[in-house]
């Protein structure tokens, strides 16, 4: 009798323990909500069923699926080039938020820790919700309300006989700042069936990391970070710039799009050479190579317009190249 009583008591304790664990699991809810973030710009997650879209600090874009144990796994993307432009991630739901890590292509592990601030559903824009239309990607021409254009072209690596790069995306655009129209060239790689582009942007004496992604509403959202790391022109995201509008900003190019010509996408390609030629020579690997007028004034750059394939393209003059080399020696 005593053995039977002890067996029943043990079963009762185990049942209570399991019910308690189940109750705690149910109380966790789901990933949806607003969380803290490293740079202070916020982390936002939207969940529909077992599918989650998230965006943290306006640079870490991620989406994936949740299993029965509240573990979220999937892929992430961020601006710039290099081994950490994309990879895989895992987040575990906790009683206070979410924690986990993301793994870059070179195997480097970066840890994540988000504290939930509210369970209210963020907007689709805040969560970086992507288009699910398999027939759409980023390629094409977009026109904003100021009639300025963004041209994005996909390409096969090394399909240009005149260069040896392996980028799969080239683009040119114009933007307005304080009433001035600024030319910009972007280059990098497309991901996620062409719905995400990560790469580098170049303007006169300025450059940095950029990411563009096709939203569920057909628009293209963008995030920019300023600065090149080392004199080879590698991109780097500096979190101290998060609230500095001169070095970090986000934007939107409205859809729908039309077809872009290759000549339109490479219209401002010369800006890449201008920036990379004028990087500060320095042996300190921790130095940020923000291109400025330390070598020359922007007015020293002279451009000529060359007609090519029926479209105007801009190239730097030989005089500028010679002057640049002389100043760097």
Evaluate if residue 5 carries a pLDDT over 90. no
Q: Which residue has the higher pLDDT, 76 or 246?
A: 76
| Measured distance CA(226)–CA(237) in Å, rounded | 7
User: Token match 């004199």: residue?
Assistant: 231
pLDDT score, position 71: 97
The number of beta carbons lying within 10 Å of the beta carbon of residue 247 is: 17
pLDDT score, position 307: 38
User: Token match 């500095």: residue?
Assistant: 244
Provide the terminal-to-terminal Cα distance of the chain, rounded to the nearest Å. Answer: 96
| Measured distance CA(196)–CA(39) in Å, rounded | 22
Cut 0.75: pTM above it: yes
Residue 57 near residue 38, CB atoms below 8 Å: yes
Strand order in the sheet with 180-191: 140-143, 149-154, 169-177, 180-191, 196-203, 206-214, 220-226, 248-253
Helices 318-328 and 270-277: crossing angle, nearest 10°?
Answer: 20
Which helix (H) or strand (E) is 249 found in, with range?
strand 248-253
pLDDT score, position 289: 60
User: Token match 């994936």: residue?
Assistant: 64
- Answer left, alpha or beta for residue 267, where phi above 0 means left and psi between -120 and 50 means alpha: alpha
Q: What is the pLDDT of residues 92-119, one digit of tens each?
A: 999 999 999 999 988 999 999 999 999 9
**Rg from Cα positions in the chain:** 25
Phi, psi of 244 (to 5 degrees): -105, 105
Q: What is the pLDDT of residues 146-203, one digit of tens each?
A: 999 999 999 987 655 445 467 899 999 999 999 999 999 999 999 999 999 999 999 9
Phi, psi of 14 (to 5 degrees): -65, -40
Q: What angle do CA 64, 66, 69 make, to 5 degrees?
A: 150
Q: What is the pLDDT of residues 45-71, one digit of tens each?
A: 999 999 999 999 999 999 999 999 999
Strand partners, 304: 315
Sign of CA dihedral 288, 289, 292, 294: positive
Calculate the CA 202 to chain-centre distance. 15
Measuring CA to CA, how many Å separate 158 from each of 107, 169, 193, 211?
27, 12, 20, 22
Q: Which three-class secondary structure string do you get for 110-176?
A: EEEEEEEEECCCCCHHHHCCECCCCCCCCCEEEECCCCCEEEEEECCCCCCCCCCCCCCEEEEEEEE
pLDDT score, position 299: 43
């Amino acid at each position: 009798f005593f053995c039977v009583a002890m067996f029943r008591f043990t079963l009762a304790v185990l049942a209570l323990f399991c019910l308690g664990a189940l109750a705690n699991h149910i109380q966790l809810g789901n990933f949806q909500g607003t969380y803290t973030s490293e740079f202070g710009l916020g982390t936002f997650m939207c969940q529909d069923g077992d599918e989650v879209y998230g965006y943290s600090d306006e640079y870490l874009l991620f989406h994936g699926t949740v299993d029965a144990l509240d573990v979220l796994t999937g892929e992430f993307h961020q601006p710039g080039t290099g081994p950490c432009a994309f990879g895989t991630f895992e987040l575990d739901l906790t009683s206070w938020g979410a924690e986990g890590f993301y793994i870059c292509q070179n195997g480097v592990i970066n840890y994540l820790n988000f504290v939930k601030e509210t369970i209210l559903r963020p907007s689709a824009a805040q969560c970086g919700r992507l288009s699910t239309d398999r027939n759409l990607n980023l390629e094409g021409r977009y026109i904003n309300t100021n009639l300025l254009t963004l041209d994005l072209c996909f390409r096969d690596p090394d399909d240009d006989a005149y260069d040896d790069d392996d980028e799969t995306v080239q683009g040119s655009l114009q933007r307005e700042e304080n009433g001035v129209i600024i030319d910009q060239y972007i280059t990098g790689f497309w991901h996620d069936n062409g719905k995400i582009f990560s790469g580098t942007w170049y303007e006169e004496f300025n450059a940095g990391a950029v990411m563009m992604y096709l939203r569920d509403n057909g628009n293209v959202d963008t995030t920019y970070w300023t600065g090149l790391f080392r004199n080879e022109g590698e991109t780097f995201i500096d979190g101290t710039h998060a609230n500095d509008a001169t070095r970090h900003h986000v934007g939107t190019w409205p859809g729908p799009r039309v077809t872009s010509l290759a000549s339109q996408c490479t219209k401002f390609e010369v800006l890449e050479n201008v920036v990379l030629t004028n990087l500060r020579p320095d042996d300190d690997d921790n130095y940020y190579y923000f291109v400025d007028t330390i070598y020359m004034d922007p007015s020293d750059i002279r451009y000529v317009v060359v007609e090519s394939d029926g479209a105007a393209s801009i190239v730097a003059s030989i005089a500028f190249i010679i002057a640049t080399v002389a100043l760097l020696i």
